[in-house]
Structure 1
Amino acid sequence: MKLRVTLVFLAVGCLARFTYISAAESNNRPIIGILAEDTVSPYGKTYISATYVKFLEQAGARVVPIRGNQSLEYYQMMVNFTNGILIPGGAVSFIKSAVGRSIRIVFELALELNRKGDYYPVWGTCMGFQALCYLVEGSNLLKPTDSSNVTWPLYFAPEAKKSRLFGSAPPDILRILATENVTQHEHSYSILTSDFESSTLSRFFTKLSTNKDRKGVEFVSSIEAKEYPIYGAQWHPEKNSFNWNPNYTINHDADAVKVGQYVANFFVSEARKSQHRFPSLKAEVLNLIQNFKRVYFTDGSFFEFYFIDPN
């Protein structure tokens, strides 16, 4: 007999119900939340880049937006209804912004769940990577680096061989990552390797890879938490397949696409280990990102955004 425990709680002014199902059941309908970021646009106040949505969808997940400036109860509800969180990159402050507050709350909720044995993965890309480091360290260790609009291979740390993220990767993926320019960097600040190793970060995270900027300054580029399914990449795995802005240095060849697909498959496979569910099919459908306005910009940028909170 399958054990089902149903919890009923009051959140955001409505009665909601969510069901935990036994870990023996396979979750083949994973839903991942992406945090919406602040913006100034005639289309809306917050947005999510479609590149992240497509990145997750290619691996068999669906996406719901996680809004900013919401109550604690809202974030508790969304975490309990989703199977993981992706914190995207973006040119916003992760310290003083609505998305910064959202990141902090969701990160703390994810930690609490994982400490209780409720598997809940978190992925941070670029700014998301930096935000995770800030929250763990409790201070901002970022230093200026010459690492914007460039594509590099990774310098794997010895620990990568036994890591969750790279330890089971096919040999050709590891070869591509280590020898080809397939990881796109779009950041002007980084966590220097020396600062990582001398800080709290090295006790919470395992350093999986580093890179050197154009001036030879070494920084940490891939991490995973030692005890929890929390991952960070200073580089952009989603751009190889889904960002076509000609002003960006992005590798779109077959090997680069394989890398992006591998990372997406990995994180979605982590999300499949979470047994969270929306209270009903109707609630699930109404929260999916397809309900929100998508705008494709024809100004040559090739940007495609979902606007979450209309003006």
Structure 2
Amino acid sequence: MYSLIFLTLILSFVIKLTICNERPVIGILTQEVYWSGFRKSVPLNSSYIAASYVKSIEASGGRVVPVFTNRTTKYYIDMVRKVNGILVPGGGCAFNISSGIGRSTNEIFQIAKIVNKLNDHFPILGICLGFELLLMASIKGKFPFSKCKAQNMNLPLTLVPEMEEKSVLFRNMPKDIQNILLTKPVTANHHIKCMRKTNFTSMDLDKFWNPITVNEDKDNLTFISIIEAKNYPFVGLQFHPEKNAYEWEKDDPHSWSAIYSARYFFDWFINECRKNKHRYIKKSTLKNELIYNYPTTYVGKMHSVFEQVYFFNE
């Protein structure tokens, strides 16, 4: 299905079109309303993107297009052709790779692996659910997680010692940001599934990924909180850096140091996307697909975990 020859043909003309990219366009995956807290308020055939992810990308100098769920492989190949990277957001799903955002993530993961093997730098950033789905995609949809209690926890990161020099995130990270992340409770955790180190090894995830940081849940269970692919520009964060500046329903960290350090992850991601040379051939197509074509809806008054959401009629 993911023919190397086919992808070479469809991508080759795009890669040569531009020498540098100071106008990155980022695809953000939509997800089904069914798994959200506001599913009773909107049609179940809708999908959504939390506005905090869009704002975070824009604050780092990128533009956003929605990448829709439950589309064809051809659609996802076409989206990879046009955008400079993909963000897989947090949320909820059925935790399989046959439907919804799980399938979308798996399709893009497989396509992006081939694209990167062609020396075409294509980054993926997964946050919380995205972190989990990237792990599952790398082991053919197997479920590697354990139950845990890491809801509503603001935590400092613990860097795996041997990863300080290996990590693409940490080796060039400014010292003041690193100090904040490693000493202050600035990462917002909202998950009940954890990636334990024992499962990470036993399920061969360590063959594809490096574990970069760890944390402990309310029962002192140690879980992996940042992963980086060994040979691809793929990064997963179990915590939510987008919440520090843009979400207010929970007791997430909103201090200056929390917002300043969270900004680093999106700045890093957008800089990685600037290395990618894909672009929309027609500006009119880009303008028609940008997130600006869709209104935001204030859902904070519904006691949602989000303040604003983009809804899409699938």
Q: Is the 8 A contact 2:83 2:280 kept in 1?
A: yes
* 1:42-191 correspondence runs (5 A): 42=42, 45-95=46-96, 97-138=99-140, 139-162=142-165, 163-191=167-195
User: Is the partner of 1:274 in helix, strand or coil?
Assistant: coil
Distance apart, 1:203 and its partner CA: 1.2
Distance apart, 1:298 and its partner CA: 4.9
Partner of 2:213: 209
Q: Is the 8 A contact 2:87 2:126 kept in 1?
A: yes
Paired amino acid for 2:151: S
Distance 2:17 2:163 in 1: 31
* 1:11-30 correspondence runs (5 A): 19-21=14-16, 25-30=19-24
Distance 1:80 1:175 in 2: 38
Partner of 1:36: 30
Paired amino acid for 1:256: A
Q: Is the 8 A contact 1:136 1:200 kept in 2?
A: no
User: Is the partner of 1:235 in helix, strand or coil?
Assistant: coil
User: Is the partner of 1:73 in helix, strand or coil?
Assistant: helix
Paired amino acid for 1:255: S
Offset from partner CA, 1:226-264 (integer Å, 9 cap, x none): 10000001001111111111xx12110010001111111
Paired amino acid for 2:207: R
Distance apart, 1:56 and its partner CA: 0.7
Distance 1:140 1:17 in 2: 35
Distance apart, 1:69 and its partner CA: 1.6
The structure carrying a bigger strand percent of its residues is: 1
In angstroms, what is the RMSD of aligned CA positions?
2.0
Paired amino acid for 1:28: E
Partner of 1:13: none
User: Is the partner of 1:231 in helix, strand or coil?
Assistant: strand
Q: Is the 8 A contact 1:293 1:308 kept in 2?
A: no
Partner of 2:277: 275
Q: 2:232 aligns with which of 212, 223, 228?
A: 228
Q: Is the 8 A contact 2:48 2:312 kept in 1?
A: yes
What is the TM-score of this pair, normalised by structure 2? 0.89
What is the TM-score of this pair, normalised by structure 1? 0.90
Offset from partner CA, 1:176-220 (integer Å, 9 cap, x none): 011100001100011101211333111111110000111111010
User: Is the partner of 1:137 in helix, strand or coil?
Assistant: coil
User: Is the partner of 2:69 in helix, strand or coil?
Assistant: coil
The structure carrying a bigger helix percent of its residues is: 2
Number of positions where the alignment pairs a residue of Structure 1 with one of Structure 2? 295
Paired amino acid for 1:214: K
Paired amino acid for 1:252: H
Confirm whether residue 263 of structure 1 aligns to residue 257 of structure 2: no
Unaligned runs of 5+ in 2: 1-7, 34-38
Q: Is the 8 A contact 2:57 2:266 kept in 1?
A: yes
Offset from partner CA, 1:145-179 (integer Å, 9 cap, x none): 11011110001012332211111000011110111
Partner of 1:295: 297
Distance apart, 1:8 and its partner CA: 8.9
Q: Is the 8 A contact 1:18 1:277 kept in 2?
A: no
**Residues 253 and 28 of structure 1: is their aligned pair in 2 closer, same or farther, counting only changes over 3 Å?**
same
Kindly, what percent of the aligned residue pairs are identical?
A: 35
User: Is the partner of 1:181 in helix, strand or coil?
Assistant: coil
Unaligned runs of 5+ in 1: 1-6, 10-15
